[in-house]
């Protein structure tokens, strides 16, 4: 066996245009969500006179830093609907974008280590099935069969008591996903403007009419914010607040290994999630650092704890080495669900609060956010994810419910 062969690094797939004086819509943030939003604005709504403004380089924030897990096994109906729609889009996007970003549906396993875990997991499998999401409950022997390197013996602190399994879930090459969207956006006429940081907004009363940037002022009828960990900073510039706290979320990779890990394994209780990248690295992540932070790095004890968890579950990892660790800034909400919808400023729209799980939601975020920007009203999938839910109390509380790793 050998690791998968990766395609050659592509030539330039998009232009680097100068910003125009005005656009019909401006998307702030050139990560996965910004790119997907621009793509669906152009494709589904015919809005091609639009720009993506990126303060650094394309897809260099959380899009370059996530652990690429894609799944839709969320507990609540609203979440299952939007994440399952995303998964269905992931299944067709390589063909639609004419770019194979190596979406590998190798399944995702969420381990249960306590009786409470088992009960919650079995409940979630039932809820998933009722929502049309593929889900199975596996006993420890079945877990071992699917992932032979997992330790299912009872000689560890929290033995594996079973797992939920979503066969259609998996991983994709995050940078290729960004390139796929960027190339199509560019073909459709979208201006992708890098090294262009937004420094303020121009408003007429409560209506946004333009964006101030480090590359000049740009007039626009509509603004969509896709800035993840920096959403609060932009909202403050625009004169409103968001119920978001930005935290560092760290991940790490080992050196390259022969394929040993056939699926994706997540454990909330022992607290680590692990897959093996196409090239062969073991990719791991866990929870956020507890403190607020914008520094794209976190504390080492967080890395140490997730490695300890990984070695406990996968004894053969004890001989692997950490090659690299890094952090991204994630935008967490108190109900662990995103905010996609209108903002208190007219013609300004927010897509944020995806927290630790934004990558998997990329296509659905783009589809629904584009709909919201183009029509001025939410798509049925993102309607429950409005900012107002924090006022009405209609929270979508996925904390602990959705196999969300925190």
96 part of the interface to another protein, by CB under 8 A:
no
6 part of the interface to another protein, by CB under 8 A:
no
316 part of the interface to another protein, by CB under 8 A:
no
The size of the interface with another protein (CB under 8 A), counted in residues, is 34
Backbone phi, psi, residue 183, to 5°: -65, -45
For 322, what's the count of Cα atoms within 13 Å in the CB-facing half-sphere?
15
The β-bridge relationship of strands 22-28 and 136-138 is unpaired
Crossing angle (nearest 10°) for helices 174-187 and 358-375: 20
Of residues 215 and 383, the one with the C-beta less far from another protein: 215
CB of 123 to another protein, least distance (A): 27
Of residues 207 and 300, the one with the C-beta less far from another protein: 300
Backbone phi, psi, residue 355, to 5°: 60, -125
Contact 174, 166 (CB under 8 A): no
137 part of the interface to another protein, by CB under 8 A:
no
CB of 348 to another protein, least distance (A): 18
Query: Which letter does DSSP use for residue 346 in this model?
Result: B
What is the pattern of x (binds another protein, CB under 8 A) and - over residues 204-223?
A: ----------x---------
For 125, what's the count of Cα atoms within 13 Å in the CB-facing half-sphere?
20
Q: Which residues does residue 247 pair with via DSSP β-bridges, in sequence order?
A: 330
249 part of the interface to another protein, by CB under 8 A:
no
Residue 115, Cβ neighbours under 10 Å: how many? 9
299 part of the interface to another protein, by CB under 8 A:
yes
Of residues 19 and 170, the one with the C-beta less far from another protein: 19
Identify the helix (H) or strand (E) that includes residue 361.
helix 358-375
DSSP characters over 64-90: GTS--EE----SSHHHHHHHHHHHHHH
> 139: which 2 tokens?
């006993």
Among 124, 230, 257, 360, binds another protein (CB under 8 A): 230
Of residues 8 and 391, the one with the C-beta less far from another protein: 391
d(CA 322, CA 336): 29
First and final C-alpha spacing in the chain:
34
Backbone phi, psi, residue 255, to 5°: -70, 175
Of residues 117 and 398, the one with the C-beta less far from another protein: 398
Among 3, 48, 56, 136, binds another protein (CB under 8 A): 56
16 part of the interface to another protein, by CB under 8 A:
no
Among 4, 204, 291, 323, binds another protein (CB under 8 A): 291
Q: Which residues does residue 53 pair with via DSSP β-bridges, in sequence order?
A: 28, 193
Of residues 58 and 373, the one with the C-beta less far from another protein: 58
CB of 231 to another protein, least distance (A): 8
294 part of the interface to another protein, by CB under 8 A:
yes
Of 92, 118, 133, give the one whose Cα is nearest residue 367: 92
> 210: which 2 tokens?
């333009």
Of residues 11 and 391, the one with the C-beta less far from another protein: 391
109 part of the interface to another protein, by CB under 8 A:
no
> 364: which 2 tokens?
């659905």
Q: Which of these ranges, 87-95, 100-108, 118-126, 285-293, lies near another protein under the rule CB under 8 A?
A: 285-293
296 part of the interface to another protein, by CB under 8 A:
yes
What is the pattern of x (binds another protein, CB under 8 A) and - over residues 173-202?
A: ----------------------xxx-x---
Q: Which of these ranges, 35-43, 109-117, 235-243, 306-314, lies near another protein under the rule CB under 8 A?
A: 235-243
**Residue ranges in contact with another protein by CB under 8 A:** 55-57, 195-197, 199, 214, 230, 232-233, 241-246, 290-297, 299-301, 333-334, 390-393
């Amino acid at each position: 066996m050998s690791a998968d062969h990766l395609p050659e690094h592509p030539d330039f797939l998009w232009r680097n245009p100068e910003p125009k004086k005005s656009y019909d819509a401006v998307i702030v943030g050139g990560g996965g969500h910004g790119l997907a939003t621009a793509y669906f604005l152009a494709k589904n709504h015919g809005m091609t006179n639009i720009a993506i403004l990126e303060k650094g380089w394309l897809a260099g924030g959380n899009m370059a830093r996530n652990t690429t897990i894609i799944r839709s096994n969320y507990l609540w109906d609203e979440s299952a609907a939007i994440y399952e729609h995303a998964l269905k889009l992931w299944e067709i996007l390589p063909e639609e974008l004419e770019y194979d970003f190596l979406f590998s549906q190798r399944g995702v396993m969420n381990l249960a280590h306590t009786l409470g875990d088992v009960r919650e997991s079995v409940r979630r499998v039932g809820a998933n099935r009722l929502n049309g999401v593929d889900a199975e409950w596996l006993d420890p022997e079945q877990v071992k069969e699917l992932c032979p390197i997992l330790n299912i013996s009872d000689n560890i602190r929290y033995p594996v008591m079973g797992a939920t399994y979503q066969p259609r879930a998996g991983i994709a090459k995050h940078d290729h996903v960004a390139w796929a969207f960027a190339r199509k956006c560019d073909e459709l006429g979208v201006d992708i403007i890098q090294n262009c940081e937004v420094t303020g907004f121009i408003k007429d009363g409560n209506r946004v009419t333009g964006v101030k940037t480090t590359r000049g002022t740009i007039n626009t009828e509509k603004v969509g914010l896709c800035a993840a960990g920096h959403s609060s900073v932009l909202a403050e510039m625009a004169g409103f607040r968001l119920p978001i706290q930005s935290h560092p979320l760290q991940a790490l990779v080992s050196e390259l290994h022969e394929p040993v890990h056939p699926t994706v394994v997540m454990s909330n209780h022992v607290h680590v999630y692990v897959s093996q990248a196409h090239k062969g690295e073991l990719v791991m992540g866990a929870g956020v650092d507890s403190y607020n932070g914008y520094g794209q790095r976190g504390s080492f004890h967080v890395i140490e704890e997730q490695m300890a968890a990984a070695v406990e579950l996968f004894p053969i990892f004890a001989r692997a080495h950490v090659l690299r660790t890094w952090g991204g800034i994630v935008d967490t909400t108190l109900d662990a669900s995103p905010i996609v919808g209108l903002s208190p400023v007219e013609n300004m729209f927010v897509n944020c609060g995806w927290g630790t799980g934004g990558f998997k939601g990329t296509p659905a975020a783009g589809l629904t956010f584009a709909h919201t920007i183009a029509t001025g009203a939410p798509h049925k999938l993102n309607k429950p994810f409005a900012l107002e839910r924090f006022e009405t109390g209609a929270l979508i509380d996925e904390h602990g419910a959705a196999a969300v790793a925190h």
